[in-house]
Chain A
Amino acid sequence: MAQTFLDSNELVLNMGPQHPSTHGVLRVILKLDGERVNGTECVVGYLHRGVEKIAENRTYQMFAPYVDRMDYVASISNGLGYVLAVEKLINVETTPRAQVVRVILTELNRIASHLLWLGTHALDVGAITPLFYTLREREEILKIFENYCGARLTTHAFRIGGLQYELYEGFEREVIAFCDWFMPKVAEYEELLTNNRIWRDRLVGVGILNAADCKRYGVTGPVLRAAGVKWDIRKALPYSGYEKYEFDIPVGTNADTYDRYLVRMEEMRQSIRIVRQAVGAIPEGPIMAKVPKVLKPPVGEAYVSIEAPKGELGYFIVSDGSINPYRLRVRPPSLINLQALDQMVKGALVADVVAIIGTLDIVLGEIDR
């Protein structure tokens, strides 16, 4: 037996925290047997800012800008989840106009988030071109955000009860123009990647996480859908008027990295579909529901979750009747999804670890909070 002569000790390799393919400050301790990964351990918390503790020391309105800083590539989704949770707690529903505008911006943000994911994921796997393409398209979305609320990344676009800003002149026109311009671009990415030999070789059959394991690990979002589970909170438990829009939930069959890519590409198209329907039907009316200036929700608690680009983003807020939340818990999709990394990576090659971290679409700001 060759083994008896060779030193068969496990090699421990530290990946990160400063590693470009970990998309932030994630440290993964890999236990290697040659090129094979036997096990992993994730060390997180390098970006911990204590968001939940900050919430206990701020009023409800004051805390809204902080949630943008968790998943900073999808800050509008974060904001939507938060304002919906507080609105649930004070039992106020926002106005129809505000709802539609929220949907438009959130879906645009989903596209922006998926675009950044696609660019960096392709970069990790070895394709540089898509990054430039996707950042170019993302720029157009960010311009719409900037024109609407004055910030590109940490937008603070929504307020509890509705919106702060009225739509600007030409908003509908710009969004429609973006939709028309963007659809061929998705086809362009698909042309670059979908049948690309290298892309397929790196992704097909890599990082399989089947439906049963997804549920066991609580994995949500595109990862779950790629495993064939047709579940999307926008359909299952609609919020913000999503039941009014027609769209499909793309699902995969093989539950591998390649299927997750296909699911996300289709999600971008579906988001465009929702945006088109929403832009055509923005009702007139006020943008702010009646909400008291000093917000004191009645004693109680509520859990509200939305379908963020990464998965189920939930806010659990406990109120003690004062102006500050008594306890605010964020259920970050990235953290929970990352937990499945160990299962996905076991038995894979070192190079696949990079692809698998990329496919989970994690944002460290959200994991560490």
Chain B
Amino acid sequence: MIPLLKKIFLVDLFQGLWVTFRNQHPKHIYTEQYPIQRPKVAERYRGAPRLNINPDNGETLCISCDLCAKACPENLIVVTSVRNEQTKRKDLTTFTYDTSRCMFCGLCEDACPVDALELTQDFELASYTREGLIWDRQMLEEGPKPTQYKA
């Protein structure tokens, strides 16, 4: 008798639908509407490299010590500098970072003694050209500017 009633009132169907609807709760949604809704990556995320600027005087923090270039397994950082006769320090002239070969291992930022080079939370690094992936000092200081889409 009970099995028959279960069949008539589609109990199994509703049980199955209950599982479906239970998982529809917004809390369970994993899909991200990507270009409109940007994911929030972790604080320690290793994304686009950035060459930090001293916020007080707008000068670069980099002391051209070349440690990042030596630590890089892929040998993709090139730092050049000139010696400043007045301050007896090295002044950074160019800094190139080839993101096309980068594997974002974070060894360069570990090596940096002054926290000038940092891997940031920017993750949109695509480019239409190979040359566009080789970042110069200006690009590293400004960071990538991905197109923002509105809903």
Contact = CB atoms under 8 A, between A and B. Distances in A.
B45 A65 contact: no
Contact of B44 (A63, A136, A147): A147
Given A58-B73, A62-B73, A136-B30, A150 B105 contact: no
Contacts of A139: 30
Interface in B63-84: 71-73
B73 A66 contact: yes
Interface in B33-54: 41-46
Contact of B105 (A143, A147, A156, A165): A156
A65 B105 contact: yes
B119 interface: yes
Given A136-B30, A156-B106, A151 B73 contact: no
A67 to B, nearest CB: 11
Contacts of B142: none
Interface residues of B, number: 17
A62 B106 contact: no
Given A63-B73, A139-B30, A164-B110, A154 B41 contact: no
B17 interface: no
Interface of A: 58, 61-66, 69, 136, 139, 143, 146-151, 154, 156, 164-165, 168
B67 to A, nearest CB: 10
Contacts of A143: 42
Contacts of B119: 150
Interface of B: 30, 41-46, 71-73, 103-107, 110, 119
A99 B127 CA distance: 41
A62 B104 contact: no
Task: List the 5 closest A-B pairs by CB distance, nearest first.
Answer: A65-B105, A150-B44, A62-B73, A150-B46, A146-B42
B45 A146 contact: yes
A150 B46 CA distance: 5
Contacts of A150: 42, 44-46, 106, 119
Given A136-B30, A164-B106, A147 B71 contact: no
A216 B6 CA distance: 55
Contacts of A66: 73
Contacts of B73: 58, 62-63, 65-66
A65 B41 CA distance: 21
Contact of A149 (B41, B44, B71): B44
A147 B43 contact: yes
B44 A65 contact: no
Output the residue of A65, A143, A165 with the most chain B CB within 10 A: A65
Given A146-B41, A146-B44, 16 more contacts: A64-B105, A65-B73, A65-B103, A65-B105, A65-B107, A66-B73, A143-B42, A146-B42, A146-B45, A148-B44, A150-B42, A150-B44, A151-B45, A151-B46, A154-B104, A168-B44
Contacts of B30: 136, 139
Contacts of B104: 151, 154
Nearest to B105: A65
Contacts of B106: 150, 156, 164
Nearest to A62: B73
B76 to A, nearest CB: 12
B107 A61 contact: yes
A64 B106 CA distance: 11
A148 B106 CA distance: 13
A139 B28 CA distance: 12
A65 B71 CA distance: 12
A147 B103 contact: no
B121 to A, nearest CB: 9
A66 B101 CA distance: 13
A165 B107 contact: no
A365 to B, nearest CB: 14
Nearest to B104: A151
Contacts of A168: 43-44
Contacts of A69: 103
Contacts of B103: 65, 69, 154
A62 B71 contact: yes
Output the residue of B72, B104, B106 with the most chain A CB within 10 A: B106
Contacts of B43: 147, 168
A62 B107 contact: yes
A151 B71 CA distance: 19
Contacts of B46: 150-151
Nearest to A154: B103
B38 to A, nearest CB: 15
B17 to A, nearest CB: 15
